[in-house]
Amino acid sequence: MVEKLRLMAVHAHPDDESSKGAATMARYVAEGHEVMVVSCTGGEAGSILNPAMDRPEVLENMAEIRRGEMARAAEILGVSHHWLGFVDSGLPEGDPLPPLPDGCFAVVPLEESTEALVRVIREFRPHVVTTYDENGGYPHPDHIRCHEVSVAAFEAAGDPDRFPDAGEPWQPLKLYYSHGFSRKRMTLFHEALEAAGIESPYGEWLANWPADRPDVMERVTTRVECADYFEVRDEALKAHATQIDPTSRWFAVPLEMQRELWPTEEYELARSLVDSTLPEDDLFAGLREKVTA
């Protein structure tokens, strides 16, 4: 009898889990597997991106409000959640860029944040871990650090000589990266919206897309069918009300169009300790037959 498999998704801030791989997680929860989201920071430095929430009392209580938003999103997705406990680094702006704040996630020594994540991995014992690629999906210092910490923890968690006080060793078997936006996907939706007589929010974005920027789809190894859970994903995303405007381009493409044209979420298999034939359609490919009760 195959036991419940366990998936851990490591993210930089609350709301990242709902915009990157949420439908995949909801699918695996519905199948009876265990899913944990780890938020490396509390998102304290995030701006209010939803005009309806742009009120002084919200800004004054941003940390508390974002914790509540994350709790609602986790409930909608059906996942467990763990705060890793580091402080949001913020997105530096200006030329030259200002230094990052002392003590923030991106400047904390890598060994310290790696040990914190190793401790959670050894407690939850995931078979699969997902995180961002080396570019962080986009160049936010916390996203890049999230990648570095996740890779380091994946390698260290099974080694009894690393962080011996952080619990009994546990080696995850697969590590996946999620990437940033795909030009191919965006073009497909842009053309479909225009053909349907619906205003597309992607025209300017595509026009300014650098010609030499490769499409992330060139790195994708694994496409998970999860169209039945797009509505759950959207509801989880809307739970992050300070960050997500429900009238924004996040929701410009009708769900039925998404399900028809692009019914998957995409990943790159970065590390694997089991045999799996590429391309895959399942993050647990190669595990379902091997991991038994």
First to last CA, the chain: 6
Letter for the amino acid at 124? Answer: F
Distances (CA, A) of 96 to 92, 93, 99, 105: 10, 8, 9, 21
Phi and psi torsions of 191, nearest 5°: -70, -35
Binding residues: 13, 16, 143
- Which candidate, 80, 102, 101, 78, places its Cα nearest to that of 91? 101
Question: Residue 287 and residue 216: Cα distance in Å, rounded?
Answer: 26
User: What's the length of the chain?
Assistant: 293
Strand partners for 34: 6
Per the annotation, binding residues for Zn(2+) are 13, 16, 143
| CA geometry: angle 38, 43, 44, nearest 5 deg | 140
DSSP per position, 76-115: HHT-EEEEEEEBP-----SSSPPPPPTTBTTTS-HHHHHH
